[in-house]
Structure 1
Amino acid sequence: MPKVYTMKQLSILIASLALALSTSAFAQNTASPQYRDWVTPQPGQFDYYKLSLTLQPVYCLKNPSSPACKTSILQNSPLLTLNEFIPSRDQGRRYKYQYCSKSISEKEIKLDQKGQWSKLPSVPNLTSATKKSLNEVMPQTKVYQQRHAWLKWGTCNSSTYDANGYFSKAAALTKYINNPDVSAFIQANRKTTVSLTQIRKFFNREFKTLNKVQFQCVSVGNRSFLENINFYVNKKVDLADLDSYPLLTPFGTMKHSPEQECPESFYL
């Protein structure tokens, strides 16, 4: 004799079946390449740039075998070099604003995430002038970091996918921040201990950063060294008219000041 269900039992059964079916469908969708198509962010729809500059001698202290750290390559490199230039959305850690072109394949994303950047496609349509500017501020082009940067973040810069515009702005901002005063400050304090208060005061005075700058350190041996300085740059920044568009993002664009990752004192 078939089992008879009450209305309440039937409702629970139907709800359970619906949940199982939707969970199965979601699992299938998220496992397929098509999943990324409907979660791919729209290029140009970001709030500010995160400009990350690396203290090159510390990078090489941590990565002595990197091709980017050979003496011949670094002869004319500045102390601060371009690490990342990231169009960013202020929507929390779960939101990933990256890989904005739908033409990017799953294979390319996996190669990028594994650090196999030499196997990524070349950056499209870069002019010789842009390449020259980029090589001057990013020695890591020797390990194809520009391909990684373009695939992951450059495609998010604008809907025109203009690599020259993206890298030209990144290079110009790096040169602007790495001015003679900054170079002199870093050079004067190389291999000495500085405090967060001291270095923050310098950058506040130099660029009116209002503490909106992040200092990241790395441990080498038993010492903590400054590795990266992160600036949160106004999306509309124009180096030719900083009075109209200030360098740093307005307070209202960021919900919280960046967290510091350096101890109170560290080595340069």
Structure 2
Amino acid sequence: MVKFLLSVSILFLSLSSAGSVSAQESGRTRFILAASWQPAFCQTNQKKAECATQSGDRYDATNFSLHGLWPMRQDYCGVPDDQKAADKDGQWTSLPAVNLSAETKSALDKSMPGTQSALERHEWIKHGTCTKMSADDYFATAIDLMGDLNASAVRDLFAANVGKVLKADAIKAAFDKSFGAGASDRVKMSCRRVGNKRVISELTIGLSQDAVSAQAKEKGLGGLIQGAGQTSFGCDEGIVDAAGF
């Protein structure tokens, strides 16, 4: 009888474990958090205001910068045609100013240096309008998620290796350490060529449908990543670029 109960218990645990793995693998990516490594971005955008003013002691020199929070397969929701055309032409400063509280604007200027070039207007017009959130809530959510990323082992790894090559395995291990086993399977890394160097330019991180829900803050970046679908990691290695040209 004892052996029978033990066998049943083992079978139950095995099925539970299999179900857990299956649930993890069957997640679906509904949103993307795009996090740029600003020094790499600035290598090929030196004339942009945020790049011309970048320095080694500024926050974005050793922390990830917010590029955007993107709903999958949706953009320009309810946006007038003239604003859509202006956005696609890169005329971001002609777009309507985004209505933000003083607190959110201050935090966004730090997290998204591209506000110096009206990046927030572009991100709101193209992506934020499809979230059914207010602009303030949309950007506050993205800022919170970036805070989680920049408080993680991933950011620490990058900051400790400025000017050096980082391999995918080390970055994936840092994601799994900070956000749970398998988190790295929901991340893609992009690199770009700058002269004869290949630098890491951006991480795009898959998130579940709860990214813009009331549960987002409670789940945090780790919980939202775990509910997303898997993807390939992309670039296998690159240099963590330092500020300056």
Correspondent of 1:53 among 18, 35, 51: 35
How far apart are residue 222 of structure 1 and its match? Answer: 1.6
Counterparts of residues 227-238 of structure 1 (less than 5 Å): 227-237=201-211, 238=215
- 1:175 and 2:147 correspond: yes
> When the two structures are superposed, what TM-score results if normalisation uses the length of structure 2?
0.76
Q: Which amino acid aligns with 1:172?
A: D
Kindly provide the CA deviation profile for residues 128-150 of structure 1, in whole angstroms up to 9, marking residues without a partner as x: 11111111100000000000001
Unpaired runs of 5+ residues, structure 2, are 1-27, 241-245
Q: Larger radius of gyration, structure 1 or 2?
A: 1
Distance (whole Å) between structure 2 residues aligned to residue 226 and residue 67 of structure 1: 21
Kindly provide the CA deviation profile for residues 130-188 of structure 1, in whole angstroms up to 9, marking residues without a partner as x: 11111110000000000000100101011xx5111101000111111111643331121
Cα distance, 1:144–1:150 mapped onto 2, change above 3 Å: same
Distance (whole Å) between structure 2 residues aligned to residue 87 and residue 185 of structure 1: 28
Counterparts of residues 202-213 of structure 1 (less than 5 Å): 202-208=174-180, 209-213=183-187
Q: Percent identity?
A: 25
Aligned to 1:120: 95
- 1:98 and 2:82 correspond: no
Cα distance, 1:73–1:157 mapped onto 2, change above 3 Å: farther
Distance (whole Å) between structure 2 residues aligned to residue 227 and residue 240 of structure 1: 27
How far apart are residue 72 of structure 1 and its match? Answer: 6.1
> When the two structures are superposed, what TM-score results if normalisation uses the length of structure 1?
0.70
Cα distance, 1:139–1:190 mapped onto 2, change above 3 Å: same
Aligned to 1:77: 59
Aligned to 1:247: 224
How far apart are residue 249 of structure 1 and its match? Answer: 4.6
Distance (whole Å) between structure 1 residues aligned to residue 69 and residue 152 of structure 2: 22
Partners of 1:137 and 1:171 within 8 A in 2: yes
Distance (whole Å) between structure 1 residues aligned to residue 154 and residue 227 of structure 2: 23
How far apart are residue 240 of structure 1 and its match? Answer: 4.4
Distance (whole Å) between structure 2 residues aligned to residue 110 and residue 82 of structure 1: 24
Aligned to 1:67: 49
Counterparts of residues 209-220 of structure 1 (less than 5 Å): 209-220=183-194
Distance (whole Å) between structure 1 residues aligned to residue 232 and residue 94 of structure 2: 34
- 1:164 and 2:170 correspond: no
Distance (whole Å) between structure 1 residues aligned to residue 117 and residue 37 of structure 2: 17
Aligned to 1:108: 83
Distance (whole Å) between structure 2 residues aligned to residue 163 and residue 211 of structure 1: 30
Determine which structure has greater relative contact order: mean sequence separation of CA pairs < 8 Å that are 6+ residues apart, divided by chain length. 2
Cα distance, 1:74–1:222 mapped onto 2, change above 3 Å: closer
Partners of 1:68 and 1:74 within 8 A in 2: no
Kindly provide the CA deviation profile for residues 62-103 of structure 1, in whole angstroms up to 9, marking residues without a partner as x: 212210113368854232100011022xxxxxxx410112xx
Kindly provide the CA deviation profile for residues 93-132 of structure 1, in whole angstroms up to 9, marking residues without a partner as x: xxx410112xx22221111111110111111x31111111
| Segments of 4+ moved more than 2 angstroms | 70-79, 180-184, 237-243, 257-261
- 1:224 and 2:198 correspond: yes
How far apart are residue 200 of structure 1 and its match? Answer: 1.1
Aligned to 2:111: 137
Distance (whole Å) between structure 2 residues aligned to residue 71 and residue 155 of structure 1: 30
How far apart are residue 258 of structure 1 and its match? Answer: 2.4
Correspondent of 2:231 among 229, 238, 258: 258
Distance (whole Å) between structure 2 residues aligned to residue 260 and residue 119 of structure 1: 36
The alignment yields a C-alpha RMSD, in angstroms, of 2.3
Q: Secondary structure at the residue paired with 2:185?
A: coil
Q: How many residues are treated as equivalent by the alignment? A: 205
Q: Secondary structure at the residue paired with 2:210?
A: coil
Partners of 1:48 and 1:235 within 8 A in 2: yes
Cα distance, 1:141–1:75 mapped onto 2, change above 3 Å: farther
How far apart are residue 213 of structure 1 and its match? Answer: 0.7
